[in-house]
Amino acid sequence: MPWPRHLAAAAAIALLFTGVASGAYVVRRWQAIPTVELIERTPAQTREVRKSVDKVAPVLSAGDLGDRVDEPAPVRRASPRKRSVLVAKTAEIAPADLLQNANALRAQSRWRDAERVYRQVAALTPGSDDAYAAAVAAASLRLDHLGDAAGALPLYRGVLRSHPTGALAEEVRWGIAEAYHALGHSDLEADALRAFLAAHPQSLLKAAAQARLSMATAASTSAAPSP
């Protein structure tokens, strides 16, 4: 059964200005009004039919009910809500689009906002390529721009555990070493650098990793308690 044109427009307007709830109300109201066949009736029968129609659909046009027109129920307008990338419903935005939004925030140096959206993507599609890239990006923002090396470590370790040979494994292992360095854990930094060199012997960071390993080893040795 096709929609009456005016009800279809009303539903569209309700959806636009007052949200899904009002649009659904228009749909239910239209579905609740039965189709009335036009047949010849006596005046008395017509009056009875009008009484029954009043009970089903009280808001009709003046041409349908003579001089009687009920006042329409007041329309409740939903309170306006602020919409932004950071508070958008995840069901309305695809993870790939969220990832692009996070990249745009990062390009604007909005580090904290970008990190939050990256984590949203990672939580939305665990195990996916988008989640993998987003988790690494969130960890690097925590380490490089938010001063949160302690918060970056669990993200890096979680990614390395789930993707030990992933496309970003080199960056992840280097990030772990950097995080330990920022936290002043020379012994753990040295372990991370050894793991980095073992897993990525051809890395462009090989020389830097070897130099850092020598420094971390010396620092951890000097920090060790004397026997």
pLDDT tens for the 227 residues of the chain, in order: 444 433 333 333 233 333 333 333 333 333 333 333 334 446 665 556 455 434 443 443 444 434 444 444 454 544 545 444 444 454 468 888 999 999 999 999 999 999 999 999 999 989 999 999 999 999 999 999 999 999 999 999 999 999 999 999 999 999 999 999 999 999 999 999 999 999 999 999 999 999 999 999 999 887 666 55
User: Do 140 and 185 fall within a single domain?
Assistant: yes
Structural contact between residues 139 and 152, judged by C-beta atoms closer than 8 angstroms: yes
Supply the range of the domain harboring residue 121.
95-221
pTM, full prediction: 0.59
User: Do 147 and 198 fall within a single domain?
Assistant: yes
Structural contact between residues 54 and 33, judged by C-beta atoms closer than 8 angstroms: no
Structural contact between residues 32 and 58, judged by C-beta atoms closer than 8 angstroms: no
- Which of 13, 43, 65 terminates a domain? The answer is 65
Structural contact between residues 173 and 200, judged by C-beta atoms closer than 8 angstroms: yes
The domain that contains 207 carries what CATH number? 1.25.40.10
Number of structural domains found in the chain: 2
Rounded CA-CA distance 92/79 in Å is 19
Dihedral sign computed on CA atoms, order 90, 119, 104, 146: positive
